Amino acid sequence: MRELDKFDLVVIGGGTAGLIASRTAASFGARVALIEDNLLGGDCLWTGCVPSKSLIAAANVAATARSSARLGVRVGDVVVNFAQVMTHVQDAMQEIAPVDSAESLERDNIDVVIGRARFTGPDSVNVNGRELRFHQALIATGAAPALPDIPGIDAVDLLTSETFWDLRTAPEQLVVLGGGALGCEIAQAMARLGTAVTLVQRGPRILPKEDDRASSLIQAALIADGVDVRTNFTAIAVTSTNRLAGTLSLDDGTALTFDRLFVAVGRRPNTAGLDLHSVGVRRDGHGNIVVNSRMRTSNPRIWAAGDVTGLPRFTHTAGVNANLAATNAILGLTRPVDKEAIPRVTFTYPEVGAVGLQSRDAEAGAHRIVTWEHEQVDRAVTEAKTGGYTQLIVNKRGRILGGTVVGPRAGETLGEISLALKNRLTTSSIASTTHAYPTYNDGLWSVAVADVRHRLGSGLVLTATRILRRLRKARLR
């Protein structure tokens, strides 16, 4: 660590938001210190995206092997070695870790300080008894699993996204509480790996943020994989038989036996111990740090990004918003955050990808919902994976305002829809772009062509087409 006494930017938290903010600021020549309390890489690398997608990859291989006879390939019994699955999960994390390491950050001229940060004054942070002074600071301390307040729940060692990755033996009976992205991904993956899984969702449907039909398709897919999906139930008590196992009582009088209970009911921001009061950084009713459209907090010297804010909790939003905050902080710019073109993907099978408006947001007369069934996507037919759809929400001129894709590679197709949304493109732009055949993106191409045809068949465009045809005929006479 260099001994110059004041940093241009002190970043608290070494997850995606903190790493990106530090690198952005350092690339502008700023003097940057990054403080991390635990492991550099944060949630995405150690407890979130990377381990969960590695687990899902193994689960999908098991499911593909089991269903291969349908395509004429018979394999023997599918045997899952859960300890080896978890070795694969650990290997994936270790392979990515060097990118986020202290050595790599120091090569980018970032001073890394390991320890827990606490604000001690308007321009100072204390770490392990040591004072770091800053011109500006950025809070990127992330979030942790929220725990529901259910009588008896403290008597069992819950599985959460933080503890699950330490498992080396698969539970036999897993109860998953919460049917959001996390609950659905884990429930399906574990069912595919051979665990008996029950998913309890408080509301009427799983994945409630998604299009109704997407929720129904994922619910059907989970059930097909053997998950016992219980929607519209409230858990009222936990009775433990030992520190790990017990029963979960539901409000209809039934009780679910589990040997592990996985809790996936949302996240709460990590702000404890930062002493935000002392620096005048405001939080909302959920404890999220309040930021303006430029990612600045109520203290103009302090910025925040990532899961600790109330903005959508994804790795890509953490990275993009942190980059924006650091750019605004160091260069004095006033670039606003993008709140419209925020894509999200739930990595169940099939995947659900969504961005912008959804069918429930479409206003009659102003918007149209155009849908293409994957039964008509040749790639899906060749792979026998036709149970999905591509849907766009467009305005009268065909401008793309949002979309939902359900299918095996929905997340890949979503990139093109996000690009269209961000750049205010119409379906004509997609329709007039040649797409390689046969790909899942054919669904998007087809839905765009269908929309252009619809517009050609009505209103001004129809009149213009008719006039052109008449003129052409007259010339040919």
Ligand X SMILES: Cc1cc2nc3c(=O)[nH]c(=O)nc-3n(C[C@H](O)[C@H](O)[C@H](O)COP(=O)(O)OP(=O)(O)OC[C@H]3O[C@@H](n4cnc5c(N)ncnc54)[C@H](O)[C@@H]3O)c2cc1C
Ligand Y SMILES: NC(=O)c1ccc[n+]([C@@H]2O[C@H](COP(=O)([O-])OP(=O)(O)OC[C@H]3O[C@@H](n4cnc5c(N)ncnc54)[C@H](O)[C@@H]3O)[C@@H](O)[C@H]2O)c1
Interface with ligand Y in residues 274-313 (CB under 6 A): 313
Do the beta carbons of residue 349 and residue 63 sit within 8 Å? yes
DSSP 123: T
* 76 vs 204, beta carbon nearer ligand Y: 204
The option from ligand Y, ligand X, none interacting with 405 (CB < 5 to 8 A, set by class) reads none
Least spacing, CB of residue 326 vs ligand X, in Å: 13
Write the CB contacts of 286 (distance below 8 Å, at least 6 apart in sequence). Answer: 268, 269, 310
Binding mask 24-63 for ligand X (x = CB under 6 A): -----------xxxx---xxx--xxx--xx----------
Interface with ligand Y in residues 197-226 (CB under 6 A): 200-203, 208
Least spacing, CB of residue 196 vs ligand X, in Å: 21
Q: How far is CA 172 from CA 59, 168, 175, 193, in A?
A: 16, 13, 10, 10
* H/E run at residue 126: strand 124-127
Q: How far apart are CA 18 and CA 31, in angstroms?
A: 15
Strand 260-263 relative to strand 302-304: parallel, antiparallel, unpaired?
unpaired
* Annotated binding-site residue? 226: no
Among 142, 180, 403, 407, binds ligand X (CB under 6 A): 142
Q: How far apart are CA 45 and CA 395, in angstroms?
A: 39
Q: Which amino acid is at 53?
A: K
Least spacing, CB of residue 323 vs ligand X, in Å: 12
What DSSP string describes 248-287? Answer: EEETTS-EEEESEEEE-S-EEE--TTS-GGGGT--B-TTS
Q: How far apart are CA 423 and CA 435, in angstroms?
A: 19
Interface with ligand X in residues 78-117 (CB under 6 A): 116-117
* Annotated binding-site residue? 275: no
Q: Which amino acid is at 124?
A: S
Among 247, 297, 315, 328, binds ligand X (CB under 6 A): 315
Do the beta carbons of residue 123 and residue 133 sit within 8 Å? yes
Q: Could you tell me how many residues of this chain bind ligand Y (CB under 6 A)?
A: 25
Do the beta carbons of residue 50 and residue 178 sit within 8 Å? no
Interface with ligand Y in residues 223-242 (CB under 6 A): 235
**Which tokens hold the place of 349?**
């099978």
* Annotated binding-site residue? 203: no
Asked whether position 180 contacts ligand Y by CB under 6 A, the answer is: yes
Interface with ligand X in residues 179-198 (CB under 6 A): 182
Q: How far apart are CA 206 and CA 181, in angstroms?
A: 9
Among 9, 10, 11, 17, binds ligand X (CB under 6 A): 17
Residue with tokens 């155009």: 370
* Annotated binding-site residue? 388: no
Do the beta carbons of residue 328 and residue 294 sit within 8 Å? yes
* Annotated binding-site residue? 266: yes
Least spacing, CB of residue 309 vs ligand X, in Å: 8
* Annotated binding-site residue? 95: no
Instruction: Specify the stretch interacting with ligand Y by CB under 6 A; choose among 236-244, 262-270, 327-335, 458-466.
Output: 262-270
The option from ligand Y, ligand X, none interacting with 246 (CB < 5 to 8 A, set by class) reads none
Among 14, 353, 387, 403, binds ligand X (CB under 6 A): 14
* 89 vs 425, beta carbon nearer ligand X: 89
Q: How far apart are CA 201 and CA 307, in angstroms?
A: 23
**Which tokens hold the place of 231?**
């929607």
* Annotated binding-site residue? 181: yes
* Annotated binding-site residue? 180: yes
Instruction: Specify the stretch interacting with ligand Y by CB under 6 A; choose among 222-230, 332-340, 345-353, 443-451.
Output: 345-353
What DSSP string describes 19-44? Answer: HHHHHHHHHTT--EEEEESS-TTHHH
Instruction: Specify the stretch interacting with ligand X by CB under 6 A; choose among 134-142, 255-263, 281-289, 434-442.
Output: 134-142
Among 137, 182, 229, 452, binds ligand Y (CB under 6 A): 182
Write the CB contacts of 75 (distance below 8 Å, at least 6 apart in sequence). Answer: 65, 68
* 42 vs 353, beta carbon nearer ligand X: 42
Among 179, 180, 269, 306, binds ligand X (CB under 6 A): 306
* 201 vs 323, beta carbon nearer ligand Y: 201
- The torsion angles phi and psi of 80, rounded to 5 degrees, stand at -100, 125
Q: How far apart are CA 339 and CA 294, in angstroms?
A: 11
List residues forming the annotated binding site for FAD. 53, 307
- The binding site for ligand Y (CB under 6 A) comprises 148, 177-183, 185, 200-203, 208, 235, 264-267, 313-314, 344-347
Which residues are near ligand X by CB under 6 A?
12-18, 35-38, 42-44, 47-49, 52-53, 116-117, 140-142, 161, 182, 270, 273-274, 306-307, 313-316, 318, 347
Give the residue ranges of the annotated binding site for NAD(+): 178-185, 266
